[in-house]
Amino acid sequence: MTTETLNMPIYMDYSSTTPVDPRVAEKMIPFITESYGNPASRSHPFGWAAEKAVENARQEVAKLVNADPREIIWTSGATESNNLAIKGAGNFYSAKGKHIISVATEHKAVIDAVREMERLGFETTFIEPEPDGLISIEKFKAAIRPDTVLASVMLVNNEIGVIQDITAIGNICREQQIIFHVDAAQATGKVKIDLNELPVDLMSFSAHKTYGPKGVGALYVRRKPRIRIEAQMHGGGHERGMRSGTLATHQIVGMGEAFRIARLEMESECSRIKALQERLLKGLTEIDETYVNGDMKKRVPHNLNVSFNYVEGESLVMAIKGIAVSSGSACTSASLEPSYVLRALGRSDELAHSSIRFSIGRFTQESDIDFAIKLLKDKIDRLRDLSPLWEMFQEGVDLEKVEWAEH
C-alpha cells in the first residue's frame, strides 16, 4: 500500500471494513470524472453511459451469487438492505401472519429492524445459538408458529465467522411457506453462494466488506417464486419502484468490479487465507488459557475470534496497538459492554471482554501473522505477570469458589 500507511498498525480488521482493491478504485475514477451522468437521465448519452455501467455492475453482482440481474436491487449498504428486506417483506405479507424468527447473534441492523416490527404489532422469536455459534435446526423448527411469516438468519457471522446451514433452514422455510431472508454481508468472496440452488428469498450484500467502496450494497429479491416487498424509500421510482434515489454510479461500478474480482479469485484467495488462519490459530493456542469462540470447521478462513482468560480486556486492547483488531463487533466496540454475540454463546462476561477478533484478508501477509502472534504472546505474558487472578489460578485456586470481600 502507500507510504502513508507505513506508520499505521497492521490491519487485521477486515470484517469491519476492507481496503478498496486498487483495481476497484481504478474502475471507479472515470465514473467520477468523465461519465458522470445521472443513470435516470434518458435523454442524453451521459445518462446512457451511466445506466450501462450500472447494468454491467448489476450483472457482476448477480454472477457472483448465480442470480438473475433483475433480482438485484441497489441500496446504500447492507444495513439498508436488511431494513428493506425485513420491513418490506414483513409489511407486505403481514396479512399472512405477524410472527418473525431471527437469531440472537444477528447483526444489529437485522435485530433493530426486527425489533421495529414488534412496534408495528409483530411478535418475534430470537433463537439462541448453540455454544459453537451455530443454530440447532430442531430449535428453529420448534420456533415456527402457524403465523410465522418471515425468518432472517445470517450466512456468516461478523464476530465469530461461523457459517450457518442456510440450505437446511431454507428448506424448512419453503415447506412452511415462510419468507426467508439471509444477511450475506460477511459472506461474499468467502463462501460460495448459489442462489439458483439455495432456498433463499431475500439476501443482503455489502460492497465494503468485499474490497469495494463504502456506501453501496444490494438486496437480492427472488423472482421465481416471486417475492414482493413494500418499498421503504419512495420517490422517483428507481429500481423498479422498490428503492428510489439517484444511483451512485461510481460506487455501483466499484461494487460490480469488487464482486467480479471476488468471483474470479475467491478459490485461490480462500486457500491462501486458510493457511494464514491456521498459522495464527497454532501460534495463539500456544498461549495458556486461550479459548476459540465459535466452531472451527463451519467457519470462514478470514476470521479467528479468541478469548484470553485472566487478562483484562481493555488493557489487552491498549497493549496491542501495533495491530488493528476489534474486540466485539466494530459497530458496538465504542461501548464497553461485552459482545452480545459472545454472551449468546454462553461465554462469561470476563471471557467476552477479553476476546479479540482477528479478521484477515487479501493483503494480509505471513509476516503480519507472525508479528501478531509474537505481540500477543509478549503482552499477555506481561499482563498476566501483573494479574493477581492469574497468580491464584497458577496456584490452583478455584476462582469460582472465591468469596470476594465487599468494599
Contact positions with another protein (CB under 8 A) in 197-256: 206, 208, 213-216, 231-238, 244-251
- Specify the residue, 201 or 239, whose C-beta has the smaller distance to another protein: 239
DSSP assignment of 208-242:
TTTTS-TT-EEEEE-TTTT-----SS-SS-TGGGT
Tell me: does residue 346 bind another protein (CB under 8 A): no
Q: How far is the CB of 320 from another protein (least distance, A)?
A: 10
Q: Measured from the CB atom, is 296 or 317 closer to another protein?
A: 317
Whether residue 225 has a cis bond before it, omega within 30° of 0: yes
270 is catalytic: no
Rule CB under 8 A: which of 291-310 touch another protein? none
Considering only the stretches 129-137, 186-194, 325-333, 383-391, report the one whose residues sit in contact with another protein under the rule CB under 8 A: 325-333
Q: Does 11 bind another protein (CB under 8 A)?
A: yes
3-state secondary structure of 180: strand
Question: Which DSSP string corresponds to 14-71?
Answer: TTT-PPPPHHHHHHHTHHHHT----TT--SSHHHHHHHHHHHHHHHHHHHHTT--GGG
Residue 190 C-beta: closest distance to another protein, Å: 17
Cell 447492507 belongs to residue = 78
Q: Determine which residue in the list 28, 134, 227, 281 makes contact with another protein, applying CB under 8 A.
A: 28
Q: Closest CB to another protein among 196 and 335?
A: 335
Span from 12-20, 140-148, 272-280, 379-387 in contact with another protein (CB under 8 A): 12-20
Q: What is the C-alpha to C-alpha distance for residues 110 and 144, in angstroms, rounded to an integer?
A: 18
Give the closest residue to 18 by CA, choosing from 234, 209, 183.
209
Nearer to another protein, 89 or 198 (CB): 89
Q: Looking at 104, 324, 330, 331, which residue is catalytic?
A: 331
Q: Which residue has the cell 445506466?
A: 51
Beta bridge partners of 74: 218
By CB under 8 A, what part of segment 43-72 binds another protein?
43-47
Figure out which of the listed residues 67, 82, 221, 302 binds another protein, where binding follows CB under 8 A. 82
Is the four-CA dihedral 303, 329, 82, 137 of positive or negative sign?
positive
What is the rounded distance in angstroms from the CA atom of residue 183 to the CA atom of residue 204? 5
CA torsion sign for 185, 188, 192, 197 is: positive
Check if the beta carbon of residue 54 is closer than 8 Å to that of residue 209.
no
Using CB under 8 A as the binding rule, whether residue 368 contacts another protein is answered as: no
Q: How far is the CB of 80 from another protein (least distance, A)?
A: 5
Q: Does 2 bind another protein (CB under 8 A)?
A: yes
Query: If binding is defined by CB under 8 A, does position 317 make contact with another protein?
Result: yes
Does 290 contact another protein by CB under 8 A? no
Residue 140 or residue 181: which is nearer to another protein going by CB? 181
Report the catalytic residues: 331
